[in-house]
A and B are shown apart, each in its own frame.
Chain A
Amino acid sequence: MKQLISLEVNGDTHEIAVEADATLLSVLRDNLGLIGAKRGCDSGGCGCCTVHVDGKAVYSCMMYALSAQGQEIVTIEGLGTEGKLDPVQDTFVKEGAVQCGYCTCGMIMTAKQLLHDDPHPDEHAIRHGIAGNLCRCTGYHKIVEAIKTAADN
């Protein structure tokens, strides 16, 4: 049975009818059309569904939509402004830190918290920080370099 909930996503309030066991990821993608967060492993192992909830990076596939009520949700679509990328997004583009792109949105959301918590991480801290995000193309080198560059900028 569906129930009506209210979610704050990227600064907007959405009233949505959801099943009680709907995940935040499914609501973002299937109800709100925010397809930046990807459905990868769908079990909290790959990180491509990472979004921010009250400023913290979480696996949206592992949070029930009902549990996300009353919290501020930010997805990759909520970064930057119209026509202007967020600095971390911009760095990923300029550094070419993308292969197939499936992990990219999650990587950037994780990198955002990493750089917020530690504005000048060394390589070890970066690699440790993105340990919850997999790149199946194994393109970690450029991702790490992009996060380093974003920190330097």
Chain B
Amino acid sequence: MALVKLKEFCIPESPGQVSACAAKYGDNALILGGGSFIHGLEARGLLSEVEALIDIRKLGLAGMAATGEGVRIGAMTTFAELEKLPELASAAWLGALKDALTYPPMQIKNVATVGGCIAASCPFFDIPTAFLALDAKLTVSGAGAKREIGLAELFAGLFENSLEPGELITEVRLAKPAGRAASAFIKLEGTANDLAIVNAAVRISVDAAGVCQEVRIALGGGVGDSVVRSASAEKLLLGQKLSADLIQHAAEAVGQDISPMEDHRATAAYRLAMAKVITRRALNQALSRLN
């Protein structure tokens, strides 16, 4: 992972040391989580100016906790650790996260971190799509200050995020939704160890009469510069009694909110067609978890 301008590899043990390294190198310092996408960024020519890597594994940011209100996940929690969260096995509202964690191979799960996969702002990743459907909130820290932002506010374009130099994600919070809620995630992949062709995550709440009380539909895998929500599809479902026809209609509507890419994995037309299919399947999968 050749970084031609790399001058320093920092392994800070305190937030102050992060700030010191960041202050020295500014935009040319890169925070290193699990490191499993460094190759991906390098191959896209995005690391040619990096002068310092800041490996944050000694900051104590790993760990997770579940309460009646939801789940808190430390940014350096690996996918393998997160998979052991007991609530994932039983809570229907966390289904999308459970689903998304089944896809990466063991070697990725053992190192890839929750914070790193978000900060990379890669539109092809799976976990961020699940987090967007689950309305994830982030705690961001830097230079002694701390702020809370929604996941969508972090993304600032293709492989771009809104973090300032020295800022890093410290925690991800998922609030348990009210009512009867369930979620699901589906990835369409070419091979078992490749980025998504397209992926979709949904979270839906339905009352006893079968009326949709809340819905969030998120798509990723090259359907835009970042993972996106489909307001058009959500609007069709909200407040309506759900039926197979309505779900099909809503799934078709995601086409209004995405801009599929064309690359070596798939054509834009294929991504568009499959985005609709997996949205419908994810909706049905989530609904099946309510019963």
A→B interface (CB under 8 Å) = 1, 3, 20-21, 23, 42-45, 47, 50, 53, 56-59, 61-64, 66-67, 69, 110, 113-114, 128-129, 131-134
Contact = CB atoms under 8 A, between A and B. Distances in A.
Interface residues of B, number: 29
Interface string B5-43: 011110100000000000000000000100110111001
Interface in B212-260: none
A21 B105 contact: no
Contact of B80 (A3, A47, A56): A56
Interface of B: 1-3, 6-9, 11, 32, 35-36, 38-40, 43, 53, 55, 57, 80, 104-108, 110-111, 192-194
Contacts of A20: 3, 6-9, 53
A67 B32 contact: yes
Q: Say what secondary structure dominates the interface of chain B.
A: loop
Given A45-B194, A66-B11, 8 more contacts: A20-B6, A20-B7, A58-B110, A62-B38, A63-B111, A64-B9, A131-B193, A132-B106
Contacts, number: 88
Given A21-B6, A56-B110, A43 B35 contact: no
Contacts of A3: 9
A66 B80 CA distance: 22
A62 B43 contact: no
A62 to B, nearest CB: 5
Nearest to B2: A21
A64 B285 CA distance: 39
Contacts of B32: 64, 67
B8 A67 contact: no
A66 B11 CA distance: 9
Nearest 10 interchain pairs by C-beta:
A132-B105, A131-B192, A56-B110, A20-B9, A43-B39, A21-B3, A132-B107, A59-B107, A131-B105, A66-B9
B53 A64 contact: yes
Nearest to B52: A20
Contact of A23 (B1, B7, B55, B80): B1
A64 B1 contact: yes
B36 A44 contact: yes
26 contacts: A3-B9, A20-B3, A20-B53, A21-B9, A44-B36, A44-B39, A44-B107, A47-B193, A50-B107, A53-B110, A56-B110, A56-B111, A57-B106, A57-B110, A59-B111, A62-B107, A64-B32, A64-B35, A66-B11, A67-B11, A67-B57, A69-B11, A114-B106, A131-B106, A132-B105, A132-B107
A132 B80 CA distance: 14
